[in-house]
Structure 1
Amino acid sequence: MTNTALITGASRGLGLALARSLAADGWKLILTARGRDALARAADDLGALALAGDVADPAHRDRLARAARDLGGLDLLVNNASGLGPVPMRPLADYPVDTLEELLRVNVLAPLALIQATLPGLRERRGAIVNVSSDAAVEAYEGWGGYAATKAALERLSHVLAVEEPDVAVWWFDPGEMRTAMLADAVGAEEAATAPAPETVVPTLRRLVAERPASGRIRHR
């Protein structure tokens, strides 16, 4: 039986690097991201199904869940899509609350809703969920309060889900700093250029899927 994965935020960065690795091993892939053109190019290269859209949109999540059902269910759901918040980074004293509400929809509510929509298939195939988090969820960095709050919430949801769903592996995954557009937005292109490439993180994720350790917080080292 061919394994099937759904990866959000798959047009660049860690999502695209993981998709390339899985495709090379024959996985069926459902890829989504907001950037339609970049996503289409990635999917064409990998022979994957591309469904462009915003994971915060319930109708788009329904399309993703339907695609997963049409392929017989999922072995792996990777909630990688994420928003950063206002740039330049803002202290909490000046953080716009309406922006935080939107960030919570993208970084917390959308992953949970997508899990809920795909969970029956994941249960049936004893699949796995990777919720991509950050060290900002557990460390206090000036200016990162809004983003950090969303990742801390995602980690708590992941932990409870792991207890409630013993037949599904749930990992909340801290990849560390990576050379991505998001990091460049946060700290500047020059500093971001010194970070490791997303491809260096993929072997850790592949080991999770292959070895299936107990659900929990996993940090890339």
Structure 2
Amino acid sequence: MATFVLIHGGGSSGWEYHLLEAELRALGHDVVAPDLPIEDGANGVAEYADAVVAAIGPREDLVVVGHSFGGLVAPLVCDRRPSRLLVLLAAMIPRPGEPASDWWANTGHESEVDMEADPIGAFLHDVPRELAEEALAKGRPHEGDSLGKPWPLAAWPAVPTRVLACRDDRFFPLEFARRVSRERLGIEPDVIGGSHCVSLSRPKELAARLDAYLTAEQQPAG
């Protein structure tokens, strides 16, 4: 058994993982899925990591999963707490010293759809309509006054890292995700079907993939 630490994306909450959490618990794992304190503009990624570490408490055997904006927070958690694995799920991948506000231009990000005009089309197009509307209703304001601060780590944490991109992601299109992962981490990402919010559209499949990552890390080399 491991403890999966699920870090949500921008403007969201731990609720986005409620289906995935049930699937991971059914596989015998513990789950921590805290709400990041995104509504206070004085907070940035370091303070978000503080909140995650506090939620973890004394738990060990950590698998840290960062989704979307959570990809900026997850490595900070791994730097502070011993972790078995770091998984970047449809995630922003930072560079040392790079402010979150600069990530979009630095990576040449272009979405396939207008996320403000059509948020369901951008993030949730394969999620059942009622669930997608509930997800939008549960969104929270993400204040960004501190997001111009440099990303605080000088180097990537010394933890095995996997990148998992979503084949049908319209917000972080697959080829974009592949390019950023290769350029920034030298990692060829794995691919799962589904939209940007794959934890809502394919929770059982995603849980199985995360569990398989953990099993692979436990196998002896050679």
TM-score of the aligned structures, taking structure 1 as reference length: 0.44
Higher helix share: 1
